Amino acid sequence: MMQKDLLVEREFRDHRRASRTLPYIVIALAVGAICPAVAARQDTKEKPLSIGITGSTPSDRRKNPTAILGSAKIQKMILEISEAPKSRAEIEVVISGEFFTLDDMVNVGLLRIEEGLYRIDFNLLRVADQKLILDVAEQKGRELAAAFLARRGEFEALAASHEQPHVGNAELLFIILGCFSLDWDGLALTEERGYRAGAQRTIDGHSFTPWAKEKGMALSLEGLYWGSHSSNGSIIHTTFGDHDALPRFGLPDLMWNRGVAFGSYEHLEEGRRAAARLVSTYMADAMDDVASVMLALSERDLSLEVLAARAGIEIDKLERIIALLEEADYVTRQNETYAGRVLVLSADDEVMVRHMLAKGREIMTAWHESYYDGTKAALSDLTPLRNGVPFERVYTEVWHFVFGIANRELVKAGLFADPYAVGRRHKGFLPFIRTSDLDVSAP
């Protein structure tokens, strides 16, 4: 989600945070931002960094690393510190008059003191670092994809147990293996096994890890499938895809990008908060109605009248919902009936899903046992590592490249559906819906 309004963003960031059992929120990025993150808008040319956090931050700007890193002056200083540590006096000259202090920079995880000097303490990647990570991850991602393809028959046999008109096995495998396994469970597994560090800071109930990347890296994110956007509730709407095709014309993204900013009421912070909460309630109602429609169509094609009765929605309201769903390519009209085109998963699919996740975890575990140490050695000269930042904190970035490349290769091999296939109206992602009683954690 592009951050148009901080207040409304915070409301929906908390809404999204409750929808995931994993410690990371995946939110759309500005170009140049690689990790899943809440990305700050950094469009001014003289600013040398793309910045963001993985997780969520408090509203207090002094406790928000992206706010602290928001100016070109501070970003340039951070780059200088990454090359040579600075004293308190040197830093305080630069930040004099700012809304934050040096201690704030330490508290949010940007800097740490060592032998009387301040060094960077977070994942700051220079252009050379980014190129090295990409080079290393390219081969490792292909090897990970090959390990999944070696068990292709097992996955396709399991996928055949899910019967849904107009949704193929390749769509299902893209979601269960690409999203649930490689993305969500991959993050859980790597943290559980100590390969990857969790949130760097927890402040006022918000957990986050800051990151920054030097601009200038020419990189297309097309085909690197590593980003999921999810809603909350008994029915969960998700889009999963790359960060090249943004914004996504699907749910919940359409609701997040509704354009309600309450910008004319900046002097009424609590009023804006109350308005945002009210709007979020009606947005949830709208997504519940969409879910009712898609659940009904996941069983069979239905006429408008029968669909209204099944979903419990008045005809005139249903017509407006259908109009949006046709534009979003969730449904198509076939003569006098409507057909659902989006994957719907429920508790009935749990045995199949958990079998796939168990196999995916076996593959990822074996891959890490074979390649993690070599990957760490190959990346030992990264800027944050030279500054004493643990590799485990950097590995969130590395793992996203590895599994994103693996997903790209599995699409090329035909095991996964292609989000850029000819005939797909909205490219770069696939939407899906699941009931909250479906356990998508690995056994």
Residues with Cβ within 8 Å of 349's Cβ and at least 6 positions away in sequence, in order, are 161, 162, 438
pLDDT tens over the chain, length 443 residues: 322 233 333 333 333 333 333 323 333 222 233 333 434 343 445 899 999 998 889 989 999 999 999 999 999 999 999 999 999 999 999 999 999 999 999 999 999 999 999 999 999 999 999 999 999 999 999 999 999 999 999 999 999 999 999 999 999 999 999 999 999 999 999 999 999 999 999 999 999 999 999 999 988 899 999 999 999 889 999 999 999 998 999 999 988 765 555 667 778 878 877 887 788 788 889 999 999 999 999 999 999 999 999 999 999 999 999 999 999 999 999 889 999 999 999 999 999 999 999 999 999 999 999 999 999 999 999 999 999 999 999 999 999 999 999 999 999 999 999 999 999 999 999 999 999 999 999 88
The whole model's pTM is what? 0.86
* Torsion over CA: 337, 343, 347, 348 (sign): positive
Distance CA 269, CA 244 (A): 34
Query: Which SS3 state, helix, strand or coil, does residue 206 take?
Result: strand
Distance CA 230, CA 431 (A): 10
Query: Which SS3 state, helix, strand or coil, does residue 70 take?
Result: coil
Distance CA 341, CA 168 (A): 10
Q: How far does CA 88 lie from the centroid of its chain? A: 36
Query: Which SS3 state, helix, strand or coil, does residue 50 take?
Result: strand
CA Rg value for the chain? 23
Distance CA 272, CA 285 (A): 20
Distance CA 85, CA 116 (A): 10
